[in-house]
Amino acid sequence: MAASNHYETLQVDRTATAAQIKQAYRRLVKQFHPDCNPDLPNNDLIAAINVAYEVLSDDQRRADYDVALRYGQFDRPDNWNHQPYTADRQREQRSTTATEQHRQQRRSRQTGRAADEDLEQWLRRVHTPVDRAIREIARSLKGAVNALAADPYDDELMANFEAYLERMTTALDRAKATLQSMPNPRSTAGIAANLYYSLNHLGDGLEELAYFPLNYDETRLHDGQEFFRNAEGLRREAKAAVNQLGR
């Protein structure tokens, strides 16, 4: 007597009344109970009949079972746990889970968009002007030194060189202020560090160059030029890292 659900076990329709279910149960017990028919050793079947009647004779359990049966919440009738648990509740839980997943995905997308916007803003407002300033300062030194080399002892040429150093110091201060104007995104930590050290090298170079008008010590010029070369190298590393972000 194979059955796929409790109704089939009791051999009644799903629309059977409580009285019909009780009557079917009594009939089947008399037919299959070992005490009534010792020649039919079918303990599994009588156990299934008892379970089916326990569920279908209780209004709440039957209602829960009907919903579960409708949505296929169990594989066999004896796999159902007979607890007040409905398919509607399962659907509600699935809906809640799906909603939360959707919210998390939306928050993730929003966070990703915000991060992209922060990066774009930092590159535009900080990196680009600081990169330009470093490049202009570093590359300007060669022309200034060449102009002074015509006659380092000429007062006018020396005055022009000192004015040049003042302009570069002002440009450097603006670049430092720009770098500190907004926090850098985490993804640009290395880039920001390179810009910071590049500006420091320019500052050290300008200090060395400022000593030359005082004592005409050419080692100051060479040291200043070396600091500027290091600054330009760090700037290029930062620029290369920025280009990698776009890949």
Question: Which residues of the chain fall short of a pLDDT of 70?
Answer: 1-3, 34-43, 72-112, 114, 246-247
Token pair in block for residue 243: 């280009």
The confidence score (pLDDT) of residue 100 equals 57
How many degrees, rounded to 5, is the angle at CA 28 between CA 27 and CA 33?
115
Phi, psi at 81, each rounded to 5° = -85, 0
The confidence score (pLDDT) of residue 41 equals 57
The confidence score (pLDDT) of residue 85 equals 42
How far apart CA 228 and CA 73 sit, in angstroms, is 75
Total H helices, total E strands in the chain: 9, 0
The confidence score (pLDDT) of residue 13 equals 94
How far apart CA 231 and CA 205 sit, in angstroms, is 9
In this structure, the dihedral spanned by the alpha carbons of residues 8, 14, 16 and 20, taken in order and rounded to 10 degrees, is 20
The confidence score (pLDDT) of residue 75 equals 43
Token pair in block for residue 102: 């959707």
In total, the chain counts a number of residues equal to 247
